[in-house]
Chains A and B, each alone.
Chain A
Amino acid sequence: MAEQVQVSGQSKGKLHKQWKTDLVGLAFIAPWLIGFLCFIIGPMIASLYFSFTNYDLLTEPTWIGLGNYIQMFTNDVRFIQALKVTLIFVFVSVPLKLAFALFVAMLFNTKRKGVGIYRTLYYIPSILGGSVAIAVVWKQLFGRDGAINDILSVFGIPSISWVTSPDFALSTLILLVVWQFGSPMLIFLAGLKAIPTELYEAAAVDGANPFHQFFKITLPMLSSVIFFNLVMQTIQGFMTFTQSFLITQGGPMDKTLFYAVYLYEKAFGHFDMGYASALAWVLLIICAIFTAFIFRSAGSWVHYESEGGK
């Protein structure tokens, strides 16, 4: 190893020492670095190249320039549909999920007894909700003969098949995702616990009602946590696959054709790898725009404490 090299002279020794540290550091991060180069950077460059080609995995890729992208935006109604469905899904499910998570977290931010058990109870759907089992069950739960219709019939609401109805299929999937609000809830809860109670006491003395306290103290103090949750949930939302694939297969009439499902269909159903790569790059750009937008706007609404900020 490099450690055996003789050292002579002060500056040379220092230089040598930095080299040694570099080697040690790189050795430690080597697993990630290899993965990063071979499985992230390499593939990204490759997929950018494929996105300009026609490639079916069996024959060599043929260069078609911007062909895939032009096709996508001018001549592919299903792409537009997938984009629309995914945007609606993200815009509805993310705010709903975060609002609900914050609401429940505020309920749990108390010294009352039993909160530990409640937290567990409310977190269980998040543990199981992403599984194939729950997807399979959801389909039956909201099916024509499922439990939901059984309950609704008590109130005289006629039975419909929620998962195969063009009007309700997407809402059913949104409900499934919002149901798994556990992780943002826990993050909000930790954030709420970090807000000094003196702030509320002082505000109460000054006559601020709970409504004011929420908007003037809770929200600003939580803004960095909201920011984190917003970024993570938005990206996750764009990537949602399993639920749509298993419950509705993108249907009925492409009403739940999520972007990831369409991409999967193109890549592994039709083996149109070039087109699918172009889809992947468009997704990346959309995610980047959204993230950049959230980051840029963060300056105006995310409040960091003077110490310990990011």
Chain B
Amino acid sequence: MQQSNKRGGWAGKILKIDLTAGKVVEEPVTDELAYSFLGGRGFDAKFLWDMVRPGIDPLAPEAVLTLGAGLLTGTVYPECGRVNVGCLSPLTGIYGFGNSGGWWPTRLKAAGYDHIIITGRSPKPVYVLINDDGVEIKDAGDIWGKTTTETEKILRDKHGRDVRVAGIGPAGENLVRTATTIVDASYSAHGGSGAVWGSKNLKAIAVTGTKKIHIHDPQTFYDLAKQEIKRIRECTRQGEAEYKKYGTLILYKWLPKYVGHGADKRYLPPEEMDHLQPENLFEKYCVGYHAACSNCQENCTYLWEVNVGPYAGTRTGALRFGSTDYMTMGMGNANTSSMVKFHSLCNQYGLCGKMAATALYFALELYERGILTKEDTDGIEIKAGDHEAIIELTHMIALRQGFGKILGEGPGNMARFIKDAYPYRHGVYGRIYTALLPFITSTRGTDHLGCLETFTATPETRNKLHENLVKIYPDLGPPMEPGIQGKTRLMFWEEHHKTVLDCMGRCFIAGGGISGCPSIGYELDEDPMGEGQARLLTILTGREFTGAEILKAGERIFNLERAFNVRQGAGRESDMAAPADQNIQFDWLALGKVDGNIMRQYLDQYYETRGWDKDGVPTRAKLEELGLGYVADELEANRPYPPYQGPPLWPIDKYPSGGERTKW
């Protein structure tokens, strides 16, 4: 314990809340946990592995919800105000995590906690208030059923202006599987976690605090933070300026053909794309300035208002490419005011825009194929470009009414309810469509954030990266090979790097994302081993870190997440993209067609590079090298696990439903 007091960076305490008994326990962050798993996503992986038994219902009381601020969150280091939300996902049935920005994460650290672990189920709706006086579980009778903005407003009025709120909206209360955790009314974490909050009868967590975090060398750390701000401002990488101006909406310009690679048909005619260009969106709907996450220099989110048309009066924040691409480009909808409305509804109801829109997109595909008919969809005709149907169905998803009950089960689970739809399902583990090969090897199902940059980087960047990596991994193989092989060899590095960024609470935009302003403190190809990052952590924590050690931690966490999925039945068979996605035309990357055979080759290569066996299970040698011997023991003792079948679903009428339609 004495050692822990001297350790910088971590707040040092984990808060365990058992809602069944209404009990709150504090536990110290041990050195072993801190140095092996860093924080944020790493702690999530460790706690979920330890506490979740395989095969349980993600919506049962024994399921676990974890929320954790990153290691650098709550410090003065810029662009690190993020929280990682982890659970056994009710959407996918495997490991589920999501990373969200906002002001809430820094308040969690200021309240003196690194992580919150929630178990059990409260007999009645509650919210949790954390402040300097302690932790209190309070009755949420008056906020249950309210939208996320109303909840934030009510709790801030009640408990003071420094209070920030993370919670769910009506969709989470209705156990919609595409519901998400909404942080500060505008920022969304993992699609699926919202239903876990709802199943625990937990509405929100309101946090404030004035606890000091120990920093080993505060002055040097402060200077480094200022230096980093300077670097971000002077960053002239390609796209940085546009990104700062438009946020992720710039992708409407950069990726006009991106959506729907798994689908046979693209619905939006190219000439309609003009409406979706960020300049046009900004001119029409952006009212004034943007709101940024805590301690951010990029400010990629704005506030939006629709003044005319059927959706007049819609006001929302943080409009994103990711939450709206499927319902506009995907579904042939060029009505941009419906896009703002859809985003607003997702924020207010606490829906994951990406997952809800993917479900709608899949419904459109099924409707076109004649598998869904008007009778199935309560008389709503789902056709390309019909924005009214999209908005109506979004209300129905959140309140679990009519056809919305089935849409709310998520894009993957829908196929289990609709007759004949199963062969047409997309992606892996019931998440989004597969648009790139690396999407399928993420630990949370099809995921566009796992590994994108290395795969799409120029050969020069990749060669440079390879040069640096081969110093640490001598048996990496030659740098460039035709096809996907050369890329696969470098991908695992990016996956570790991004895992570490999630542990730090660092934003991908700053840390190697679309804007290309990468890594903590340094450029990706110049410092791929993260020596700058190691120096920063040494100054913060007072313990000597090396770059290789930090990357190793990333690998440890990634392997633990994979082991969690293996326990849920994941393996080679379920890792393959659904048959409908096994014939992808990569026209925006000029990669040509990728079929099932290439995917199989890719998986073989990927498993081999990672040191996993043919079935995608981490080997004992690999796990022991990472200090995860206990994981190998458990896997060996209990394998084979029942194969992955998706999450256990409830009978469609057993879920709670209803609520008020939000007028915003």
The finding on whether chains A and B are genuine partners in a shared complex, rather than unrelated, reads no
Q: Which A residues have a C-beta under 8 Å from some C-beta of B?
A: none
